[in-house]
């Protein structure tokens, strides 16, 4: 049997196996499928060329255990319409390895809705295409961008990347090497799995990685050390040189005009050193004269050698064994420097986002473009795309772009690769072509094909929301600010209208004084605008409340002691202010916080309304609204910054408690009447906790919802147990509950962050302890 015929027969066998096994998957995703199905069904479908939602049913995905579905999908093409559930799961897979099936089911339900019903009302429960009717949540509305192309996660910022091919292996078996700001080096296979345990190689950040020979990699760190590791065996070889009181600023391979290639290292004190790449002993070659300024280096490895490029401050010079010769000056400090294939040519990225190419060939000259929308060019490398040398730039704005060096023309569109700054770039060879690997300050490593449509049409930018508020039900209105535009949407009908244009907004809150719906918006000029919404909207400019010396960071509507409507505001000026919405004037100023007030919460007690405030000074204070005075002691939370606060009742009508979300990644429960330590603590291990809210289940159990770097965590405060984890794949900065009619067995949650907004309903009777 010939090769193609044998391949077709092999695929047909796997296709039949996948079809038969898919019939064995229970329709109910809460019922566990057979372990063989969880582990191998996706692989059979891929080998049978039927990797789609029919052959890998959605009900299997919460139980899928191969952890390789994203890699299988990366090799597929042309069936996106039949892989909608699979594609949704692939975006969650890197975050879900330690989650329970219930949390996976919930996360998949929300991710599929975000991908398929973006910015539209959700299908009704029981409608076609909604197989997860027993999910603990029901999506109501979302415009969140998917956390796509996530290849690996890290618990620290990855600040350097490279790829290397161990000896006796083919190029497509290359390993990815990552260095993070904790001094740890990781070795990853093509599917994102670890090929060796993490190696703690340095006492500072591993800022430079450079492949040498046959899987040997040189490393440079902020601890001042240059070291070497064997990537093939996953173990360190040893230090090369260390300079105390300085840090490594550059590593490069360079071949002088006469001689073998050497490893060159530069330190922040201006020191340069050369090392033999085989013995790692000092190499005796001419080096530029000493200079106290830190240097970036870029060498050449062409057989005939060439000049060494040296960047200091805003100047690039060439050194060819004699005195350095200035080649170019730049409008801002040089951040990245890369030698190009054309002899004497190089590319520079600077601190203001400019990218320039300097040619010394037959047509010498300089070309320059603006490479980022804002901030520096943070990473730069040269790769081969479709047989042509191509520059790849990464920016502080999280974007990646491709450029043709000869004309510095962009290839395709800008790619929104990360939610935060791009910290490193490298190319990883594969059988199907080269892939671009990017790392960002969002602690993700992402994998992008350099061929095809990745850069052809670009990708939609994440809808970074700076402020949001959800009105009381039953007809929920969502107010959200993206950039300088604030829109109000009816999440039931999809209708939307602009409220504020061309003005940054730092906080939003809904108030309903005397049955009128008012949207309060904190503006960048330190004022608070009051927009009345309704059939008889007043076209006149909205009234403004003035008094803060810096913009308000948080707003909260609450009733006054005499029943009059009040608005509370917390500002970067360190004050909490109360405003009378009827008279549109200030009522009180609490100036006890030393730094920014970041969060407010309120509750009604038998004695009146209480207001809690927390902020950058790490303190929690409670205010009696009627008495206009602090109530109880100041609580020093010990969580660094207090990012958010919420009131809750743990047991019955007694036992009023406050929960704080801290910069140190913990939730802490406090008695507002006592200055002693916290009563309970919850640490989900999801980085800094940005937001918290609380709600009651069946009138008995208190559930706390906390938002971290990659998800939302629901915790039973009484039973001290995790109930549910919802993967978002991005940081959520605000989490709020919308008031519901009395007796409603569900809670509506609003979550907003760097990737957009989602609104979903949590069903109380479907919450149960989460056991991975």
Name which residue leads in pLDDT, 5 or 538: 5
Task: Write the CB contacts of 120 (distance below 8 Å, at least 6 apart in sequence).
Answer: 141, 494
Least confident of 31-40, 171-180, 347-356, 608-617: 171-180
Q: Which residues pair with 445 in a beta bridge?
A: 152, 439
Is the pLDDT score of 122 beyond 60? no
pLDDT at 562: 63
The answer to whether the CB of 434 falls within 8 A of the CB of 450 is: yes
- Three-state DSSP state, 37: helix
- State the Cα–Cα distance between residues 363 and 343, nearest whole angstrom: 12
Q: State yes or no: cis peptide before 646, omega within 30 of 0.
A: no
pLDDT at 80: 56
Determine phi and psi for 387, rounding to 5 degrees: 80, 5
The answer to whether the CB of 560 falls within 8 A of the CB of 609 is: yes
- State the Cα–Cα distance between residues 209 and 199, nearest whole angstrom: 14
* % pLDDT > 70, the chain: 89
> Which tens digit of pLDDT belongs to each residue from 71-102?
777 665 445 558 889 988 888 888 887 899 99
Per-residue pLDDT band at 740 (split at 50, 70, 90): low
Is the pLDDT score of 124 beyond 80? no
Per-residue pLDDT band at 772 (split at 50, 70, 90): very low
Least confident of 568-577, 637-646, 649-658, 662-671: 649-658
Long-range CB contacts (within 8 A, 24+) of 187-194: 187/231, 187/234, 188/152, 188/445, 190/71, 190/428, 190/430, 191/68, 191/71, 192/70, 192/71, 192/94, 192/151, 192/152, 192/445, 192/447, 193/67
pLDDT at 457: 54
- Three-state DSSP state, 592: coil
Per-residue pLDDT band at 364 (split at 50, 70, 90): low
> Which tens digit of pLDDT belongs to each residue from 574-623?
999 999 999 999 999 999 899 999 999 999 888 889 999 999 999 999 99
- State the Cα–Cα distance between residues 539 and 521, nearest whole angstrom: 17
The answer to whether the CB of 176 falls within 8 A of the CB of 434 is: no
SS3 content of the chain, % helix, strand, coil (to 5): 10, 45, 45
Task: Write the CB contacts of 772 (distance below 8 Å, at least 6 apart in sequence).
Answer: 98, 99, 100, 103
Name which residue leads in pLDDT, 553 or 66: 553
Average pLDDT, the chain: 87
CB atoms within 10 A of CB 3: 7
- Three-state DSSP state, 207: strand
pLDDT at 471: 86
Per-residue tokens: 30: 């809460």
Is the pLDDT score of 743 beyond 90? no
Rounded average pLDDT over 408-416: 86
Per-residue pLDDT band at 179 (split at 50, 70, 90): very high
Residue ranges and CATH numbers for the domains of the chain are 1-97 (no CATH), 250-329 (2.40.10), 334-457 (2.130.10.10)
pTM above 0.85, yes or no: no
- Bridge pairing between strands 272-276 and 262-267: antiparallel
pLDDT at 243: 94
Is the pLDDT score of 24 beyond 80? yes
Is the pLDDT score of 28 beyond 60? yes
């Amino acid at each position: 049997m010939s090769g193609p015929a044998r391949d077709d027969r092999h695929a047909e066998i796997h296709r039949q196996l996948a079809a038969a096994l898919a019939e064995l998957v229970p329709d109910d995703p809460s019922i566990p499928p057979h372990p063989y199905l969880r582990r191998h069904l996706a692989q059979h479908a891929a080998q049978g060329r039927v990797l789609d939602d029919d052959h890998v049913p959605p009900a299997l995905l919460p139980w899928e255990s191969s952890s390789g579905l994203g890699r299988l999908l990366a090799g597929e093409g042309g069936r996106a319409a039949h892989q909608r559930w699979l594609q949704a799961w692939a975006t969650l897979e890197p975050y879900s390895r330690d989650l329970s099936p219930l949390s996976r089911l919930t996360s998949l339900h929300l991710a599929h809705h975000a991908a398929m019903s973006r910015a539209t009302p959700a299908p009704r429960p029981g409608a076609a295409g909604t197989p997860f009717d027993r999910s603990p949540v029901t999506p109501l509305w979302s415009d969140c961008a998917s956390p796509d192309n996530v290849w690996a996660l890290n618990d620290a910022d990855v600040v350097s990347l490279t790829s290397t091919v161990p000896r006796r292996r083919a190029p497509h078996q290359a390993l990815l090497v990552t260095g993070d700001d904790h001094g740890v080096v990781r070795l990853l296979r093509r599917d994102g799995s670890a090929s060796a345990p993490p190696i703690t190689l340095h006492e500072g950040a591993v800022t430079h990685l450079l492949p040498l020979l046959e899987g040997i990699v040189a490393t440079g760190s902020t601890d001042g050390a240059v070291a070497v590791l064997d990537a093939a065996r996953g173990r360190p070889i040893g230090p090369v040189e260390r300079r105390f009181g300085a840090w490594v600023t550059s590593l490069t391979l360079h071949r002088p005009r006469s001689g073998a290639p050497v490893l060159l290292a530069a330190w922040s004190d201006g020191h340069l050193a050369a090392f033999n790449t085989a013995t790692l002993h000092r190499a005796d070659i001419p080096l530029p004269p000493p200079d106290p300024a830190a240097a970036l280096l870029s060498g050449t490895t062409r057989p005939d050698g060439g000049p060494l490029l040296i960047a200091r401050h805003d100047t690039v010079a060439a050194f060819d064994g004699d005195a350095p010769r200035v080649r170019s000056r730049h409008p801002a400090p040089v951040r990245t420097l890369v030698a190009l294939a054309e002899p004497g040519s190089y590319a520079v990225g600077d601190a203001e986002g400019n990218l320039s190419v300097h040619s010394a060939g037959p047509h010498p000259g300089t070309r320059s473009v603006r490479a980022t929308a804002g901030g520096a060019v943070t990473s730069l490398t040269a790769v081969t795309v479709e047989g042509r040398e191509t520059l790849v730039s990464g920016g502080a704005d999280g974007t990646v772009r491709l450029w043709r060096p000869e004309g510095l023309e962009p290839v395709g569109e800008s790619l929104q690769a990360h939610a935060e700054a791009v910290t490193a770039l490298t190319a990883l060879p594969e059988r199907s072509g080269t892939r671009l690997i990017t790392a960002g300050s969002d602690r993700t490593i992402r994998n992008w094909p350099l061929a095809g449509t990745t850069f052809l049409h670009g990708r939609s930018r994440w809808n970074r929301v700076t402020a949001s508020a959800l009105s009381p039900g039953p007809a929920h209105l969502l107010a959200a600010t993206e950039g300088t535009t604030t829109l109000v949407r009816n999440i039931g009908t999809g209708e939307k209208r602009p409220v504020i244009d061309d003005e940054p907004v730092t906080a939003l809150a809904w108030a309903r004084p005397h049955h009128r719906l008012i949207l309060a918006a904190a503006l960048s000029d330190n004022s608070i605008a009051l927009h009345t919404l309704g059939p008889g909207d007043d076209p006149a400019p909205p009234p403004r409340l003035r008094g803060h010396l810096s913009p308000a960071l948080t707003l909260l509507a609450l009733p006054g002691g005499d029943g009059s409507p009040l608005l509370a505001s917390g500002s970067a000026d360190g004050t909490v202010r109360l405003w009378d919405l009827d008279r549109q004037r200030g009522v009180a100023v609490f100036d006890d916080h030393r730094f920014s007030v970041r969060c407010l919460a309120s509750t009604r007690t038998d004695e009146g309304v209480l207001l809690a405030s927390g902020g950058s000074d790490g303190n929690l204070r409670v205010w009696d609204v009627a008495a206009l005075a602090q109530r109880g002691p100041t609580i020093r939370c010990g969580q660094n910054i207090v990012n958010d606060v919420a009131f809750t009742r743990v047991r019955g009508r007694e036992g009023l408690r406050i929960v704080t979300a801290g910069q140190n990644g913990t939730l802490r429960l406090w008695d507002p009447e006592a200055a002693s330590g916290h009563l309970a603590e919850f640490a989900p291990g999801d980085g800094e906790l940005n937001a918290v809210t609380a709600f009651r289940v069946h009138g008995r159990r208190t559930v706390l919802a906390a938002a971290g770097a990659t998800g939302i965590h629901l915790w039973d405060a009484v039973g001290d147990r995790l109930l549910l984890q919802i993967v978002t794949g991005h940081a959520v900065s605000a989490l709020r509950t919308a008031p519901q009619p009395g007796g409603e067995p569900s809670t509506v949650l609003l979550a907003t962050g760097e990737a957009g907004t989602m609104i979903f309903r949590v069903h109380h009777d479907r919450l149960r302890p989460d056991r991975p």
